[in-house]
Amino acid sequence: MYGAIVRIRTGAVAITITSFALALIGAATEVAPAAASTPARPVHVTGLSRHSEPTWGGDWITVRGSGFSQSGGRAVAAAYFGRYKAIYTRVINDHTIVAQDPEVDGARKVVRVVVQLHNGTRSKPSAAGTFTFTVPNMHTPAHNGLSTLQSRARGTSEISRVAATKAPALAPRHASWTLAEGRSVVARAKRWLGMPYSWGGGNTSGPTYGSPYGDGLLGTFDATFRGFDCSGLTLYAWAPYRAMPHYAATQHTVAGRFHPTRSELQPGDLLFFSAGGSLIDHVVIYAGRGKVIQAPESGHLVEVSSLAQVLSLEPRYLGATRPASTGRQGPGPKVISLSSTKGPAAGGETITIRGRNLTTTSRVIFGGTTTYAFQVLSGSRLRVKVPAGAGTVPVRLGNAWGVSPKTNADRFTYTK
């Protein structure tokens, strides 16, 4: 299904929150959670990062106040926008909560934002927590990104650009996964970098008009222009090698029986996320070297993102799968020698590693530090930028099938 990247500002400080949200949930009535012990301090709302957003919801709002981190943040059950429960609430610290605002019924509403505790008590409504739901139109930015009209124009431009360029050559299809196939998948996805997100958009041939169904009010806007959603992009990228449904959750189930760990990722692997709970609602394509390609959310474009950032900010990572693969299919790498065995503690120099089975290297490990700043030159040679470190450490290479064993030839010493 479909994801979200959102950026929040608290005062003069920008906080980036990445979320791959559920299809927007309709209005929720107030239901007090089960009772819990009463916190010692009262909870107050003293301000909001933004005071108005469209009625389709799904944007992140910073709620400022006090008493939020009692019991390690477990005292807070949810934020409410009037009688509507926020889709997701996260306690950042004692004075900051981020909440994903709910979808309301499409009419302008002025509400007060309050914070509810697990024992059912709430902060008192105040003027500082006043929030206005505005009725969106074709000029309204979606999730602080492009408006519908801007996305429509950008989509038309991108389709013309791609039509005028030569398609990347594809690796031959085999009975089971190959690294060349994974790299072809990445090349197909990269061809559409800059294409707008459109909920329900994308098929095996490329971008399509989005769907007005299943995403509330926002879907009716996305349905007016062509683009990709997250699973539409992945099914398009994998189409030459594996047929997949247009839903992230079922893609995880049917696309491959091998589920690599994060340290085993190879180009073309699919990673799955949830905004909360166990329901998968977003999928991205691993591009190699710590990067992913994704169609994030309405108002935004197909983009390359840092996997480390996505993993650190996304509420829940639910694993990866390797389409067309039935398991580990190759040998692990081996280090034979280093072009230089000494270097400054600050790192930054480039050395060459000689070894075996280096073509599929996914990471280089200096002691306890993993780096993706490397270039595979051949099956026996790899060039890497040394990260900062201290002492004498083993240099090991990892791929989908293992990590090189420690040997006397892989020692690197940091000098002062």
- Give pLDDT tens digits for 297-355: 999 999 999 998 887 766 678 888 999 876 665 677 899 999 999 999 999 999 999 99
Q: Tokens 């030569």 identify what position?
A: 166
The answer to whether residue 328 sits within a structural domain is: no
Q: Tokens 């905004």 identify what position?
A: 275
The answer to whether residue 15 sits within a structural domain is: yes
Domain closes at, from 321, 343, 370: 321
Residue with the larger pLDDT of the pair 3 and 381 = 381
Cβ–Cβ under 8 Å, residues 230 and 294: yes
Distance CA 289, CA 366 (A): 16
pLDDT band at 276 (very low <50, low <70, confident <90, very high): low
Judge if 153 and 293 occupy the same domain: yes
Judge if 155 and 297 occupy the same domain: yes
Judge if 150 and 179 occupy the same domain: yes
Whether the predicted pLDDT of 367 surpasses 60: yes
pLDDT of residue 17: 37
The answer to whether residue 399 sits within a structural domain is: yes
Residue with the larger pLDDT of the pair 63 and 21 = 63
pLDDT band at 279 (very low <50, low <70, confident <90, very high): confident
Domain closes at, from 134, 163, 183: 134
pLDDT of residue 8: 29
The answer to whether residue 11 sits within a structural domain is: yes
Judge if 170 and 231 occupy the same domain: yes
pLDDT band at 30 (very low <50, low <70, confident <90, very high): very low
Query: Which CATH number goes with the domain that contains 391?
Result: 2.60.40.10
Residue with the larger pLDDT of the pair 335 and 253 = 335
Residue with the larger pLDDT of the pair 291 and 416 = 291
Whether the predicted pLDDT of 10 surpasses 80: no
In terms of residue numbers, what domain contains 352? 334-415
pLDDT of residue 359: 77
Q: Which of 181-195, 351-365, 387-401 has the highest mean pLDDT?
A: 181-195
> What are residue 128's phi and psi, to 5 degrees?
-65, -20
The answer to whether residue 123 sits within a structural domain is: yes
The DSSP call for residue 258 is -
Judge if 287 and 165 occupy the same domain: yes
Strand partners, 366: 369, 395
Cβ–Cβ under 8 Å, residues 378 and 358: yes
Q: Are strands 316-321 and 363-366 parallel, antiparallel or unpaired?
A: unpaired
Whether the predicted pLDDT of 23 surpasses 60: no
Q: Which of 39-48, 87-96, 183-192, 271-280 has the lowest mean pLDDT?
A: 271-280
- Structure tokens of 248? 């992230």
pLDDT of residue 258: 81
Strand order of the sheet with strand 381-385?
Answer: 334-338, 350-356, 381-385, 374-376
The answer to whether residue 329 sits within a structural domain is: no
| Section 30-57 average pLDDT | 75
Judge if 10 and 95 occupy the same domain: yes
pLDDT for 95-128, tens place per residue? 999 999 999 988 999 999 999 998 888 999 999 9
State percent of the chain over pLDDT 70.
87
What value does the mean pLDDT of the chain take?
86
pLDDT of residue 22: 32
Distance CA 7, CA 146 (A): 14
Phi-psi region of 243 (alpha: psi -120 to 50; beta: other; left: phi over 0): beta
pLDDT of residue 277: 60
pTM above 0.75, yes or no: no
State whether the Cα torsion 212-216-218-220 is positive or negative.
Answer: positive
Residue 377, burial from CB neighbour count under 10 angstroms (0-12, 13-18, 19+): middle
Judge if 44 and 85 occupy the same domain: yes
Domain closes at, from 279, 300, 321: 321
Judge if 268 and 374 occupy the same domain: no
> Which residues touch 119 (CB under 8 Å, ≥6 apart)?
35, 36, 37, 38, 39
The answer to whether residue 327 sits within a structural domain is: no
Judge if 87 and 201 occupy the same domain: no
Question: Packing angle between helix 230-238 and helix 179-190, nearest 10 degrees?
Answer: 130
Judge if 148 and 126 occupy the same domain: no
For the chain, the domain total comes to: 3
Whether the predicted pLDDT of 225 surpasses 70: yes
Judge if 295 and 351 occupy the same domain: no
Query: Which CATH number goes with the domain that contains 198?
Result: 3.90.1720.10
Judge if 112 and 196 occupy the same domain: no
Residue 110, burial from CB neighbour count under 10 angstroms (0-12, 13-18, 19+): exposed
Distance CA 99, CA 82 (A): 13
| Section 237-253 average pLDDT | 90
